[in-house]
Amino acid sequence: MVEIRFHGRGGQGTVVASKILADAINKEGKFVQAYPEFGVERRGAPVYAFIRIDETPIFDKSRIYSPDHIVVLDPTLIEAIDVTEGLKEKGWIIVNTDKKPEELAFPTKYRVATIDATHIALKHQLGTRATPIVNTAIVGAVVKVLDLARLESVIQAVKEGVPLKPEENAAAAKEAYESVVFHS
Amino acid sequence: MRKVLMGNHALSYGAMLSRVQVVAAYPITPQTQVVELLSEMCAEKILDAQFIKVESEHSAMAACLGASLAGARTFTATSAQGLALMHELLHWASGGRLPVVLGNINRAMAPGWSIWTDQNDSLSQRDTGWMQFYCGSNQEVLDSVIQAFKVAEKLHIPAMIILDAFSLSHTYEIVDVPDQEKVDKFLPPFQPKFRLTPDEPHAFGGLTSPEHYFELRYKLQKDMEKAPALIEETGQEFEELFGRKLGLVDPYKCDDAEIILVTSGTTGYTARVAVDHFREKGLKVGNLRIRVLRPFPFEKVQSILSHAKKVAVIDRNISYGHHGIFYQEVKSALYGNSSVPVFGYITGLGGRDITLNTFQKIIEETQRNETPPERISWIGVKK
Amino acid sequence: MKKQQPTKKIIFHSEKEMPLAPYSLGSMLHNRTGAWRNIRPEINLENCIQCGICWKFCPDVAIYIENEYPVVDYTYCKGCGLCAEECPVKCITMVEEEK
Ligand code: SF4
Ligand code: SF4
């Protein structure tokens, strides 16, 4: 079982990112459960989404407290909250940033991957400079780093799962899949 | 087809595949997406149904009653305060023998204002004469809607499909969405035993003197008593067509269990993980998830639990001044039938999470004591 | 709407004979409410404009329509006077019953 927590800000499409990832994993024939933070979401406020992935049906309906990995859609959250809370040792921290992994000051017990999802999103005309839509690029990066699904599954899930610009979103996911920086 | 669906949408898909003809509902968190998707399906003509917008849950149920009485297959959904507002008309539905199916998202009653899960909203409606199905997964939500229509329409008794707020309503899970043709084979169109039509005028719901009221209620109970066998039978038929079980209860590793947990809703699924965990440590634990509370599955509960050395009932609800409601029900079913000690635990009110740690405390306390140390054992209260 | 025939009171002697729901469980046709009447409505059909308002308002369904004109069924008319009150051309008068 793999458990992942997503950190974003309200309005960034954090929950949609987890749903698209779930769709991609479903296409692989694996089992998946994804849920948002239980409660109300506000634009701009820190929000969470969670996902469980397994080879067999998932019966645990409790919430995730110590994720295997975390994903950060907005780098300003790193200063604002403790994104690593409960994160297991050796867990991946996948961050949307223009920095390299070694430039981020996370404890060495974690592994860090970085992806400039904002740059990729804007390049593919997803959102505006003020509110880039980074979620599909993030999914591409997550799938690559954690080896969760094939690229085709991700592209298909993105195309089916976004309300607008399916081709641009799929291209962003692909570019992120191919350019995410990590040392395994 | 395997789809990733949230529990709320599983309800909508269940209603769509059942080919409901009238939907009347009022939105309330955490039920909103059920109605949203159904209204879209109606607008896009994926679903050939009349969607009636109303100004309250009371009106929603009133519209459902009218539609059902005219012979339409009718669906609605609500939660907590909304269900409470329907209360009067829930009695009308069952007393009027109108097989409406209602999806209720279990949400704690205010105050304090809460949108999170517990079972007091639906359990407050336990005695309204509705069947109650408590679901453990989104798959079961979808399947239960279809099964419920079949049973409800045969008996002319309404049914509630109940799912936990957020843990199911907003959680995405993989759901096998069955083919429409297969569902049509399982669930034929509604053939009411009576209905209102201008072609043949009848009066409905008129003054009923003491000469006749008693017998009407006797008949409701007698038909409710037919429901357990019918639910099992339709569950088997469903399994033959779709490969999934839909019985009154869902026992897990109960055959040789010394301690049997009694659970419902999503708690009943997390309990399986706890059972496996303790089995690995050598403790013989089992889990009996009660899927149908009304009609109460007396025979199943008696035969499964009387083998155990101890029973631990876990309630995400309370009847103030008494105990957890599933606890009362289980104890009354076992009275005179088995002397197995029944431990009662209350936990998870207002959406407090029920985790493996919760089960660990429950199982350890049950194992440690010969009989319950207290009438109610509260798990997780900050004392 | 035709004139209704009075019936006997319906009493079911077994639950098996009864419908499932309070659905046409009984009728008030056995209850000859005409006996309650002290004043009776009389319709002057010459002035009647056939609007049907009296038929609609009668709480005991004691007015029926025959040859497109209202007729009072005195077996059931309880003499409440609603029809006379509501008639827009005031062609219904309530007259004292001789007892
Ligand atoms: S007097 Fe009353 S009961 Fe009689 S016909 Fe008129 S409205 Fe009906
Ligand atoms: S209300 Fe008066 S005018 Fe109208 S139908 Fe009756 S008697 Fe005639």
Residue B104 sits in the same domain as residue B195? yes
Number of domains in chain B: 2
Chain B residues with CB-CB distance to A31 below 8 A: 174
Q: Which pLDDT score is estimated for A43?
A: 84
DSSP state of B127: G
Q: Which of B207, B227, B242 is the last residue of a domain?
A: B242
**Position C8 confidence tier, pLDDT thresholds 50, 70, 90:** confident
Residue B272 sits in the same domain as residue B189? no
DSSP state of B30: T
Taking CA atoms, A161 is separated from A18, A165, A166, A169, B172, in Å, by 11, 10, 8, 10, 13
Q: Are B82 and B28 in contact (CB under 8 A)?
A: yes
Chain B residues with CB-CB distance to C12 below 8 A: 211-212, 215
Residue B167 sits in the same domain as residue B23? yes
Any long-range contacts for B275-282 (C-beta under 8 Å, 24+ apart)?
B277/B356, B278/B363, B279/B253
Residue B351 has its nearest CB partner, among A32, A38, A59, at: A38
Q: Are B257 and B308 in contact (CB under 8 A)?
A: yes
Range(s) of the domain holding residue B369 = 249-379
Nearest chain A residue (CA) to B166: A38
Q: Which residues pair with A2 in a beta bridge?
A: A53
Chain C residues with CB-CB distance to B203 below 8 A: 23-24, 27
Q: Are B315 and B327 in contact (CB under 8 A)?
A: yes
B134-176 pLDDT, tens per residue? 999 999 999 999 999 999 999 999 999 999 999 999 999 999 9
CB atoms within 10 A of CB A123: 15
Residue B82 sits in the same domain as residue B204? yes
Mean pLDDT score across all residues of chain A: 95
Instruction: Single out the residue of A146, A149, A141 nearest to residue A121, CA to CA.
Output: A141
For chain C, the domains span 33-96
Q: Which of B242, B259, B284 is the last residue of a domain?
A: B242
For C38-54, what is the mean pLDDT?
Answer: 97
**Position B206 confidence tier, pLDDT thresholds 50, 70, 90:** confident
Q: Is pLDDT above 80 for A184?
A: no
ipTM of the complex: 0.96
Q: Which pLDDT score is estimated for C3?
A: 84
Task: Specify the CATH number for the domain of residue B306.
Answer: 3.40.50.920
Residue B180 sits in the same domain as residue B321? no
Cβ < 6 Å from ligand 1: which residues? C 41, 58, 60, 62-63, 72, 77-83
Which residues of chain B approach chain C closer than 8 Å at the C-beta?
A: 95-98, 156, 193-194, 202-206, 208-209, 211-212, 215-216, 218-219, 223
CA distance B179 to chain A (A): 18
- Closest ligand 1 atom number to CA of residue C78: 3
Q: Are B363 and B282 in contact (CB under 8 A)?
A: no
Helix axes B57-69, B80-95, angle to 10 degrees: 30
Q: Which pLDDT score is estimated for B91?
A: 98
Span of B171-175, B267-271, C14-18 with lowest mean pLDDT: C14-18
Going by their DSSP bridges, the two strands C39-43 and C92-96 should be labelled as antiparallel
Q: Which pLDDT score is estimated for A141?
A: 98
Residue B197 sits in the same domain as residue B289? no
Between the two ends of chain B, the Cα-to-Cα distance in Å is: 48
- Closest ligand 1 atom number to CA of residue C82: 7
Q: Which pLDDT score is estimated for C23?
A: 87
Which of B6, B114, B174 to mutate against chain A (most A CBs within 10 Å)?
B174
Structure tokens at A2: 């793999």
**Cβ contact (<8 Å) for A63 and B355?**
yes
- Choose one of C63, C85, C87, C94 to mutate for the ligand 2 pocket test, by most ligand atoms within 8 angstroms of C-beta: C87
For A46-53, what is the mean pLDDT?
Answer: 96
**3-state DSSP assignment of residue B378:** strand
Residue B254 sits in the same domain as residue B236? no
Q: Is pLDDT above 90 for C6?
A: no
Residue ranges and CATH numbers for the domains of chain A are 2-179 (3.40.920.10)
Residue B45 sits in the same domain as residue B131? yes
**Position C1 confidence tier, pLDDT thresholds 50, 70, 90:** low
Q: Which pLDDT score is estimated for A34?
A: 98
**How far is ligand 2, taken at its centre, from the CA of residue B206, in Å?**
28
For A125-134, what is the mean pLDDT?
Answer: 92
Kind plus residue range of the DSSP H or E element containing A6: strand A2-9
Query: Which CATH architecture is the domain C33-96 placed in?
Result: 2-Layer Sandwich (3.30)
Which carries the bigger pLDDT value, residue A11 or residue B265? Answer: B265
**Position A131 confidence tier, pLDDT thresholds 50, 70, 90:** confident
Mean pLDDT score across all residues of chain B: 97
Residue B42 sits in the same domain as residue B159? yes
Q: Which of B222, B242, B262 is the last residue of a domain?
A: B242
DSSP state of A109: T
Task: Specify the CATH number for the domain of residue B62.
Answer: 3.40.50.970
